[in-house]
């Protein structure tokens, strides 16, 4: 049988590292990637001494396999020679034995010393996804000039978290109150943003109490971000406390949002988040 339900119950162990690796490679890519650390930063290799490179705690996806350095460790770099230049590569060395047992370790590929510009050593061919027995994955280059080891250069690609991917494709309009005296924001209010992504508009306006009597009025002013090319009706975005009708709103071409129908002193306007499709012909810039 060539088709398997990998994440289905089979009555016996049947999910292999190849299954999981193939799925992860399909999701993030077939290459080698450095993941963001718990502090929101991408860790980097540093030189601890002239002959010791320090590999920090880090998380990697290497051809679909997830690997971790759980505690900082050092690797030894062979001393350079005065008047000669060399590039060494710090690598993750992956091996698969005859029983399909897989292991990884940090290792160094030593370059060739030269009086000219140093070149990286040749990385042996091999691919985890193609079931190679040994695979070398370079993660950092150590440039050595004479007897001095320079600053390591990270070679593995950084893979940002999905939250940043969302941010990179989301267009946001940040709003601000026309007056927090006239429109008193509710404690722990919403973000006062309108976001556009994948053909949808995400409306998140904060509730407030009015201290004035106004008709159709621009309650939220444009602060930053994008504006619609045409006025967009947001439909019903709020209810007035104690009154059984909704409040409509319009997102204007200057980026502001007007509340339609007006409010009176001491009206409590309870806004709620909503999602609407982007109207035909409307663009954002």
Does pLDDT of 117 surpass 70? yes
Does pLDDT of 162 surpass 80? no
Written as one string, the DSSP assignment of 54-84 is: EE-SEEEEETTEEEEE-S-EEEE-----TT-
Average of per-residue pLDDT across 124-152: 95
This model's pTM is above 0.75: no
| 234: its two tokens | 């947001």
Q: What is the pLDDT of residue 144?
A: 96
Answer for the pair 143, 81: CB distance below 8 angstroms, yes or no: no
Does pLDDT of 32 surpass 80? yes
Answer for the pair 143, 153: CB distance below 8 angstroms, yes or no: yes
Residue with tokens 């621009």: 218
Q: What is the C-alpha to C-alpha distance for residues 217 and 146, in angstroms, rounded to an integer?
A: 72
Q: What is the C-alpha to C-alpha distance for residues 199 and 197, in angstroms, rounded to an integer?
A: 6
Residue count of the chain, please give it.
Answer: 285
Q: What is the pLDDT of residue 157?
A: 92
Average of per-residue pLDDT across 117-133: 95
Strand, coil or helix: 2:
coil
């Amino acid at each position: 049988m060539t088709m398997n339900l990998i994440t289905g119950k089979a009555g016996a162990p049947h999910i292999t590292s190849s299954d999981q690796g193939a799925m992860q490679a399909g999701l993030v890519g077939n290459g080698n990637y450095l993941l963001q650390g718990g502090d929101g930063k991408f860790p980097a290799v540093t030189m601890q001494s002239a002959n010791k490179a320090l590999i920090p705690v880090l998380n990697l996806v290497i051809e679909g396999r997830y690997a971790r350095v759980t505690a900082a460790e050092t690797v030894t770099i062979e001393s350079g020679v005065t008047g000669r230049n060399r590039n060494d590569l710090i690598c993750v060395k992956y091996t698969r034995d005859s029983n399909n047992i897989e292991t990884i370790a940090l290792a160094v590929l030593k370059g060739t010393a030269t009086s000219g510009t140093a070149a990286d050593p040749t990385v042996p061919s091999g691919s985890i996804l193609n079931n190679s027995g040994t695979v070398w994955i370079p993660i950092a280059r150590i440039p050595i000039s004479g007897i001095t080891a320079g600053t390591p250069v990270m070679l593995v690609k950084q893979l940002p978290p999905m939250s940043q991917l969302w941010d990179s494709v989301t267009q946001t309009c940040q709003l601000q109150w026309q007056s927090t005296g006239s429109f008193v924001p509710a404690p722990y209010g919403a973000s006062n943003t309108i976001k556009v992504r994948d053909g949808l508009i995400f409306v998140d306006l904060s509730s407030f109490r009015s201290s004035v009597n106004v008709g159709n009025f621009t309650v939220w002013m444009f602060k930053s971000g994008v504006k619609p090319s045409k006025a967009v009706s947001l439909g019903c975005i709020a209810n007035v406390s104690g009154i059984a009708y909704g409040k409509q709103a319009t997102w204007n071409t200057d980026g502001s949002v007007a509340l339609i129908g007006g409010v009176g002193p001491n009206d409590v306007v309870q806004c709620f988040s909503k999602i609407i499709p982007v109207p035909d012909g409307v663009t954002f810039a």
